[in-house]
Amino acid sequence: MKHLLNNISDEEKNKIREQHTGGIKISTNQFKKLTETRQGVINPLLKEQDGNVAPPNQVDKTGNSQTQETKTIINKVATEGIKNVTPQMVSSPQFEGSYSSYQFGGIFNNVNYQWNCNGVDGMMGVRGMVEGEVITETIENMSKSIRKEIVDGKPNSLCVGFLSSKGVSNFIIYTTTTDKPKCTYF
């Protein structure tokens, strides 16, 4: 660029300079605010305490702002087996959830239940986020519901699964007669 300007006349240089009069104004207000705040003061988006995550303020039915603490429980199914399926979940309707990679779950009674199924026999991960519902039941009732015979399921054991809203990723995780977790798609 410098060489191009050397090859033009002074008159052309002055015309270019006239177009750029007035200069540029730089605002340093935000930088000044940043430098004057105390070091180490960070305003987090989420507050964490003992594994509890506080979601942003929510508005209840009356229009009042409220903050609820939601405890997150993650079950590593491949090493721990199926845990955290409560009798209350089984007797209640399905609840909203999501599925991404090898993990699925949702919030039930203000607790964020997550099942990490990485390493579970038959489990295939998914890219992106799939919305749907978490389903819980005994293996016998689940087998009837999905109309698929599960011959290697441990009798009277609880199972958990995911039913996608678009029908693309429907599966259940159950315990086999050898006490190993297994995934089957339907």
The predicted-structure confidence for 43-77, as pLDDT tens digits, reads as follows 554 444 444 444 444 444 445 444 567 899 999 99
Domain assignment present for 16: no
31 in any annotated domain: no
Query: What is the pLDDT, as a whole number, of residue 166?
Result: 85
Domain that holds residue 79: 69-185
* Number of structural domains in the chain: 1
Predicted model pTM: 0.64
Among 151, 124, 156, residue whose Cα is nearest residue 140? 156
Q: Span 9-26, mean pLDDT?
A: 73
Give CA 46 to chain center in angstroms. Answer: 14
When pLDDT is averaged across residues 82-97 and rounded to a whole number, the result is 95
Q: Measured at the alpha carbon of residue 88, what is the angle toward residues 150 and 54, in degrees to the nearest 5?
A: 115
25 within some domain: no
Separation CA 136–CA 18 (nearest Å): 74
Residue 160 forms part of a structural domain: yes
Does the residue 3 lie in any domain? no
61's tokens: 């039915």
Q: What is the dihedral sign for C-alpha 101, 106, 112, 117?
A: negative
Backbone angles phi, psi at 34, to 5 degrees: -65, -45
**96-110 pLDDT, tens digit each:** 999 999 999 999 999
Residue 82's pLDDT band (cuts 50, 70, 90): very high
13 pLDDT band (50/70/90 cuts)? confident
Q: Is residue 179 part of a domain?
A: yes
* 39, part of any domain: no
Q: Is residue 44 part of a domain?
A: no
